[in-house]
Structure 1
Amino acid sequence: MMDFIEAATKDGTIPLLTVSELTREIARVLENEFPFVWVTGEISNLRIPSSGHMYFTLKDQFAQIRAVCFRGTRPAIRFSPKDGMEVICFGRISLYQPRGEYQIIVEIMEPRGLGALQAAFEELKKKLFQEGLFDEARKKPLPLCPKHILVVTSPTGAAIRDILRILKSAPLGVSVTLLPVQVQGEVAPAEIVKAIEWINENARAFPWDVVIVGRGGGSIEDLWAFNDEGVARAVAGCVVPTISAVGHEIDYTICDFVADCRAPTPTAAAEIIVKRQKEILEKAGRIQATLITSILHLLDRYKNRLDFNRKRLRDPQRWVDDKRLYLDDRQERIIRAVKGLIEGKQRTRELLEAKLMIAFGPQKIEEKKRRLGDLYRELNRGIANVLKDGSVRLKKAETSLRMLSPYRVLERGYAIVTRSSDGTLLKEASGVEVGEEVNVLLASGGLRCTVNERLEGVEKFDDREKTQ
C-alpha cells in the first residue's frame, strides 16, 4: 500500500499538498466565498493588548468563531463591548495561516437590540452621573433678570432665528451675541468645546448673564455632537450660567443633563429669559403697589393727627399777643421793684451818713480819712519793698542756676555725647563700639558722628593729638 502511494505521488496520479499549500487554498476559498458577512453572537474572552487591537470570540449555543477588530477601526464603535454582550458584527472572513484558524475581521459592530448610538449615550450618561456632573447642587442659578445673552449655535440655523424672534419681546430688552459654531458633523464637538473655552477665558471682560448652547431638531445622528463627552464636560465647566436647548421637546442629550438649565427647544430657552424679566417686572409692580398703599395710609394717619392737633392748638396770633402782654406786665413790675430797691438803698446810705456825723462829727471823720490815706501809702511802700527784695533773690538764683547748667560747661568747649540708637549718655569710651553712630551736643547745634576708633584713657587721647 505504501509503495502504491509513493508511486502515485511521484507520477502525479495523486496530488500531494503541503500544509501551507492546503491552508492557502482554504483561505482563498473562504475569502472568495465569504468576502463580507453579517454575523450575530455573544462576546466572550474579550481582550485588548497594548497594540490597541481588540480580540474576542463570537459564540452561540452550538459554535464559536474568533474575531479581531483592529485599532484603526475601534473609534467607529460608539460603545464599549463587554463579555456576555450580544452584538451584530459586519466583516470579512480570513484564515490565520500560522495556526490554521479562521476568523472574522470586524469592520462594524453594534449591540443587538440596542443601537450603537443609544448604547454609547447610556454609557456616557451613567459615567457622568457617577462623577456627579448631573447634581443640582453644583449647578449655577440663572440671574434674576438676564439682559446680556451669548448664543453658541449655527449662524444659519433655525435656532438663532427663533431665539432672536422671542427675545424681541423681552420687556426690559436684551443684547444678544452670537458665537458661531458647527452643530453637527465630525468637527462640531471640537468647535463647541473651543467656543466654551473662549467664553471662560473672556468672561470677566464681557458682561454675559447667560449662555444658550443648542440647535434645532434633527435625527439622533444630527444631535450627536451634544452627546460628546468633551462637549458635556465643557458645558459643565462653563463659568457663565448655561441653558441647553437642543432639538425638540422629546429630544434629550447629555448636554441637557450637565447644563445649569435645560430648555426643550431654542425657542423655550429664549422664553425662559423673557419670562424671568416679566416676573421681575410683575414683582416690582407688586412692590410698588404695596409701597404706594403704605405711603398713602401713612399720609392719612399724619393728616388725621395734624387735624387733631390743629383743633387743640389756639390761634398763634392770640398766643403771641398774650405772651406780649405778659412780658410788658413783667417788665413794668421789674422796673418798679428795681426803682424801689435803689430808693431804699439811698435812704439807708443817708441814714448811715447822718449817724456817722452825729457819732464822730466832721473833724473826726476828716481825721479818719487822713489816717486811712497814710495806711494806704504805707501798704504800697511795703509791697514795693517786698517785690524789690524778691527780684534781687530771683536774679541771684538765676545766676546760680546758670553757673550749674551743663550748657554753661558747653560754652567752655566741652560736649555731651549720646548713643544715636537709644539716647544713652556716654561717659566712657567703652560704652560705644567702633562703627556705631553717636550724637554730639555742642554749645550751639550738634553733630551726628560715626566712631572710627576707640581710645581708652585721657593720656592716650593726648598722645594721639601730639603725634598728629
Structure 2
Amino acid sequence: MAISQPVIYTVSRLNNVVRLLLEQEMGLVWLTAEISNLVQHSSGHWYFTLKDQQAQIKAAMFKGQNRRVSFRPQNGQQVLVQGQLSLYEARGDYQLIVEKMQPAGDGLLQMKLEALKTRLIAEGLFDPQRKRPLPSQPRQLGIITSPTGAAIHDMLTILARRDPALPVILYPSAVQGEGAVPVLLQALETAWRRNECDLLIIGRGGGSLEDLWCFNDERVVRAIATSPIPIVSAVGHETDVTLSDFAADLRAPTPSAAAELVSRDQQQQLHRLTQYQHRLQQAMQLQLQQQQLSWQQLYSRLNTQNPRYQLQQKIQKQDELQYRLEHALQQTLSRAHYRWTVQQQRLQQQSPQNRIQNLQHQQTYLYQRLLTAVGNQLQDKNQALSRLSGQLQALSPLQVLARGYSVTTNTRGELIHNSQQVSSGDTLNIQLHQGTLKVRAEEIKPEN
C-alpha cells in the first residue's frame, strides 16, 4: 500500500489558501461591536479593532467605502458593520474588510427596515402600476400631520400664496413616537369615512430614522397603499426615504414641495388665461385677414374681366415690347462699336511704321549696351595688364642688378654659384646693371 506524501506548504501559500477559504465560506457578515485603536490613515483608509467583552478582531475600511459613512466614528463607539472576512497575508492577520458602517441603534433599525422593504416588494405592494394619477385640480385637500409642527405651517403658507381658493381640511395626528401609529391609522380612516377630500397629503418634517419610524410601520404602509383616496407622501427632508414614500401614489421630497405639487399657481393660471386670450385674438385676426384676402381676390378677378383693364394691359405690353426693342438695338450698336474699336487698336498695333520705330529703338538700345560692354571689358584688360606688368617688373633680374647685385658666368655661359666652380686663371664675365666686365680669377677663397 502506497503511503501518500504530506503536502508541504510555504507560508505564503498557506496564508493564501486560508484567505480564500475565509472569503469563500463565510461571505458577507453583519457584526455589532465597539471600535478601538482607530487610525484614519493619510491615504483615506481606516484601520481599527472591533471588540466586545471577550474577544476582538482587526478591521479595515477602505477609502471607497468609508466615504459613504454618514458619521465620524470614534473609539469606544458601538457600531453595526457589514463586511467580508479575510486574511492579511503579509502578516497572517485575520481581519474583517468593512463595507458598511452605522451607529448600532440606527443600524439595527436599518436592518429591520430593509427586511420589511424586501418582503413588501416581493408582495408587489410598491408596484408602480398600482399608483393612481393625482387630480389635476383637486376640489378639496386633506392633510394628515401634527397641528403644531412646522410642516403644517409651511404647507398652509404655500397653499395660501399659490392657491387660496383651494379648501384645506386638517386631520390632526401624532407623527412621532410609539403611539403615533394608531393615531395615523385613525386619521386615515376618518378621511376615508367622510370622503370630503379627493386628495390627501401625509407627512411631517425631518428627523432621525427613529423619529420617522412610524412611517415605516407595516400597518401604516399597507393603509397608504390601499387608500381609496390618492395620497402624496411628504415625510422628512429630501434625503429621508420611508416605506410610506414607496406605498404612496406620489412622493414629495418635503412637505413644502408637496404643497407646491398639489396646488394651482394663480400666477400660472393668470398667465394661461392671458395666453388663451392672446391665442383667441390671433385666431380672430387671422380669420379677418383670410376674409379680407378672399375679398381682394374676388375684386381682382372682377377687375381682370373689365375691358378697360384689358386695354390698359395691352397698351402696357406694347410699351414694354417697344422698350425692349430699343434696348436691344442700343445693345447691338454698342457691341458693334466696341468690336470696331478693338479691331482699330489691333490694326494700329500691327502697323509697319510702329514696328520700324520699335526696331530702331531696340537697335539704339543694343548699340549703347555694346559700347558699354566693350568699354568695361577694355578697362578690365588694361587693369589686368598693369597688374601683370608690375608683377613682371618686380621679378625681373634687372631690378636685382639695379640694387647693386651682379651675375657671374664662365666662358661657357654657366652661372657661378660658388667658388668651387672656378679655378685660378679662369676668365669670368660679370653682368652689372649697366655694362659687362671680363675678369680673371687670381685668388680663390673657399667658403669657411
What is the TM-score with the length of structure 2 in the denominator?
0.42
What is the TM-score with the length of structure 1 in the denominator?
0.40
